[in-house]
Amino acid sequence: MTFKDFNFNEQLAEGIQSMGYNTPTAIQAQAIPIILEGKDIIACAQTGTGKTASYLLPVLNSIGKADAGHRISTLILGPTRELVQQIDQQVEGLAYFTNISSLAVFGGGDGIAYEQQKRGIQNKVDIVIATPGRLIAFLTSGALKLDHLKHFVLDEADRMLDMGFFQDIMRIITYLPANRQTLLFSATMPGKIRTLARSILKDPEQINIALSQPAVGISQQIYRVHDAQKTKLIEVLLRSGLYTSTIIFASTKEKVKALAKDLKHAQINAEAFHSDMNQGEREEVLLNFKNRQLPVVIGTDALSRGIDVEGIDLVINYDVPGDPEDYIHRIGRTARAETKGTAVTLVNKHDERKLTNIQSLIDKKIEEITLPADIGSIPEQKPQFDNTKRKSRNNRRPAHKDAPKGQKRS
């Protein structure tokens, strides 16, 4: 299959070519024909699968056909300003040869940003890409009207619900015409997403893209450590001279801040990335990291979704993620585009069950590396959790909170 099979208009075809896309990805091959037919969809697909273009291309084609009237015809909602900006960049690239315009609307920043976004809306745009909170501010003040909306996209719907946006989404829907196409994308499909889908989609087609396994180019390793040894080990890894670009993931922003402080104290050029920073600070960190002026960035799982930086050669998991799919998201930041990368996970004595769940999801035992002698002795290892027993037990009682969420892998 090629992009020609979709019969996109000439300007859009030129945009696709200029973005360097040759072959549609699996989600694009499945979703594009359905969206072109005007149907609603619910799609289970993650970042890195080409999901953004799978809805942008048919929507851009349809706006092009209607000859861009610069009345908002498309609303795309995403959980974070980073995602909103990345979607906007893809719109700009793909729609470069069309006269379709878009605007990113997100919270944070200062009053100036709010005024700029407001002016942008008044300048008339075809596509608004927004985080829910800021969009509501524009809707309730009457600055933004969505009476002519044709396409409504929810991207990373699971993350939006995790961030507490359910009420906001339902409120936004009251401002939309009932007669519209709704496209819902989510990396996972917990019950609450299905409930949301039932209330806002009409007779949707369902698409499932299987969870992609970690790229073969990633060398996955674990170190068994005490918490007190983690920072020292990270220093050793960062000073080894083997890596030029590193992301470190920690489970909470408190840990992110503390580790950044410790590494800076040890004269390592590292910056934290978390939601307490203002937008300008976050953007500066990401830009410096992308430009390779900053070799080490430390963040929570929010950083593992959406960040599309080439050339990251080391991912460190400061702690073992509770959700095994987050492990795949995190380590997927390295070895992109068939290059090689290393993913190191630090495992303390409480993390065995989480590690077992990850190994069961990736169907592989991760190589254990011996702790360098100068870091001290390793924790006594608890017996490995028997996954087979867990499976049979789970048939009789609710799944343990650490157990992999079975329905995600459909």
**Chain contacts with ligand AMP (rule: CB under 6 A):** 21, 23-25, 28, 47-53, 90, 308
What's the rounded Cα separation, in Å, for the pair 37 and 280?
Answer: 41
Residue 345 CB, nearest approach to ligand AMP (Å): 24
CB of 290 to ligand AMP, least distance (A): 13
What is the closest distance, in whole angstroms, from the C-beta atom of residue 313 to ligand AMP in the complex?
18
Closer residue to ligand AMP (CB): 253 or 329? 329
How is 100-129 classified by DSSP, letter by letter?
--EEEE-S-S-HHHHHHHHHHHHT--SEEE
Amino acid at 232: K
Q: Residue 409 Cβ, how far from ligand AMP at the closest point, in Å?
A: 18
DSSP string, 41-77: EEEE--TTSSHHHHHHHHHHHHHHHTT--SS--EEEE
Q: 218-224 and 367-368 as β-strands: parallel, antiparallel, unpaired?
A: parallel
Comparison of 247 and 344: residue with beta carbon closer to ligand AMP? 247
- When the beta carbons of 3 and 138 are compared against ligand AMP, the nearer one is 3
Closest separation in Å from C-beta 9 to ligand AMP: 18
405, two tokens: 């969420």
- Please say whether the beta carbons of 290 and 240 come within 8 A: no
Buried b (16+ CB within 10 A) or exposed e, 232-261: bbbbebbeeeebebbbbbbbebebbbbbbe
Cβ neighbours of residue 408 closer than 8 Å, sequence gap 6 or more: 44, 187, 188, 189, 190, 211, 325
Residue 3: CB minimum distance to ligand AMP, A: 8
Q: Which is nearer to ligand AMP, 233 or 315 (CB)?
A: 315
Closer CB to ligand AMP, 113 or 309, in the complex: 309
Which of 51/81 has CB closer to ligand AMP? 51
Least spacing, CB of residue 265 vs ligand AMP, in Å: 35
Please choose, from the candidates 336, 344, 329, the residue with its C-alpha nearest in 3D space to the C-alpha of residue 242.
344
Using DSSP's 3-state secondary structure scheme, residue 271 falls into: strand
Cβ atoms 57, 6 nearer than 8 A: yes
Cα dist. 150→72, 146, 177 in Å?
8, 9, 8
Specify the residue, 49 or 220, whose C-beta has the smaller distance to ligand AMP.
49
